[in-house]
């Protein structure tokens, strides 16, 4: 799985700035687990797409500003996250499982059955 900084197909112009979310990737014999930090993104503003071998994560931040007020100082000025990954051919991108809880997106991407290790039974003749 390779990190890709630029996404070629998106609903937004390529020059629209975005935050790069922090991501941890763990691999085991059955697949990978990806954890992405997306603070401030509500579930309805989170979009996951798989196009070919590219996985794209996009989320819009929905700041909770009190009515009739505006920020005098803000450390985060960009309003969305965007990250894309190239998935290896051994991963089954049709079986991705996604959970989103407390601003953390958890993706489980299993390996194809033929790419998973298997135990071979030895028979005594």
**CATH of residue 18:** 2.60.40.790
> Does 104 map to a domain?
yes
State how far the alpha carbon of 125 is from the alpha carbons of 5, 70, 81, 120, in Å: 56, 80, 60, 15
Three-class SS state of 83: strand
Structure tokens at 46: 């989170």
**% residues pLDDT > 90 (the chain):** 55
> Does 52 map to a domain?
yes
Which of 29-33, 60-64, 119-123 has the largest mean confidence?
29-33
Range of the domain at 75: 2-115
> Does 124 map to a domain?
no
Torsion over CA of 17, 67, 104 and 85, rounded to 10 degrees? -20
Task: Answer whether residue 118 shows pLDDT above 60.
Answer: yes
Domain count, the chain: 1
> Does 11 map to a domain?
yes
> Does 121 map to a domain?
no
- Give φ, ψ of 90 to 5 degrees: -80, -10
CA nearest to 25, candidates 35, 16, 38, 17: 35
The span from the CA of 103 to the CA of 111, in Å, is 26
> Does 120 map to a domain?
no
The span from the CA of 91 to the CA of 30, in Å, is 9
> Does 122 map to a domain?
no
> Does 123 map to a domain?
no
CB burial of residue 33 (10 Å; 0-12, 13-18, 19+): middle
- Write the pLDDT tens digit of every residue in 17-49: 888 999 999 999 899 999 999 998 999 999 999
Please report which confidence band the pLDDT of residue 76 belongs to, taking 50, 70 and 90 as the band edges: low
Task: Answer whether residue 9 shows pLDDT above 90.
Answer: no
DSSP β-bridge partners for residue 99:
106
């Amino acid at each position: 799985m390779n990190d890709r900084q630029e996404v070629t197909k998106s609903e937004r112009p390529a020059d629209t700035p975005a935050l790069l979310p922090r991501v941890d990737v763990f691999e085991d014999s059955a697949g990978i687990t990806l954890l992405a930090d997306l603070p401030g993104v509500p579930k309805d503003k989170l979009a996951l797409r798989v196009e070919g071998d590219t996985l794209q994560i996009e989320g819009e931040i929905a700041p909770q500003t009190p009515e009739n007020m505006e920020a005098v100082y803000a450390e985060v000025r960009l309003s969305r996250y965007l990250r894309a990954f190239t998935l290896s051919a051994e991963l089954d991108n049709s079986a991705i499982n996604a959970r989103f809880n407390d601003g953390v997106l958890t993706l489980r991407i299993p390996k194809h059955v033929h790419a998973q290790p298997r135990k071979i039974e030895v028979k005594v003749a």
